[in-house]
């Protein structure tokens, strides 16, 4: 009986000492180099119970090209996509799409696109 009381006291003390909020998310990130072009690709993302986002970046030091892609979606259907970059040959650009979520018209999303 004393072993049971001791185990219960230790368990209660451990739960009170470690009572923090749970972090229900998954985070990842990695980078790799393309040996033929010299480009560096970095990708990462976060996944939670209510949303997910992901991003990719490509940089080539030899040509000066830079590209970023980003996407986000939550549990209520909101979507955001963005693609931006710069090339010494073509200049810079920024494109994207945003959709407000479930219950909205399929035509409610909006595109944006411009160069600088």
Query: Of residues 72 and 108, which shows the higher confidence score?
Result: 72
Phi-psi region of 17 (alpha: psi -120 to 50; beta: other; left: phi over 0): alpha
Check residue 22 and give its pLDDT. Answer: 58
Check residue 109 and give its pLDDT. Answer: 73
Average pLDDT for residues 54-75, to the nearest whole number? 90
5-57 pLDDT, tens digit each:
555 555 555 455 555 565 677 888 989 998 888 899 999 999 888 889 999 99
Coil, strand or helix at 5: helix
Where does the pLDDT of residue 116 fall: very low under 50, low under 70, confident under 90, or very high at 90 and above? very low
């Amino acid at each position: 009986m004393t072993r049971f009381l001791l185990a219960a006291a230790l368990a209660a003390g451990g739960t009170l000492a470690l009572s923090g909020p749970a972090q229900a998310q998954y985070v990842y990130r990695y980078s790799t180099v393309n040996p033929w072009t010299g480009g560096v690709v970095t990708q990462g993302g976060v996944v939670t119970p209510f949303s997910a986002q992901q991003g990719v970046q490509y940089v080539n030091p030899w040509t000066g090209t830079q590209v970023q892609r980003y996407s986000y979606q939550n549990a209520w259907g909101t979507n955001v996509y963005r693609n931006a970059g710069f090339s010494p040959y073509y200049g810079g650009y920024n494109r994207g799409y945003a959709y407000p979520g479930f219950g909205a018209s399929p035509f409610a999303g909006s595109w944006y696109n411009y160069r600088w």
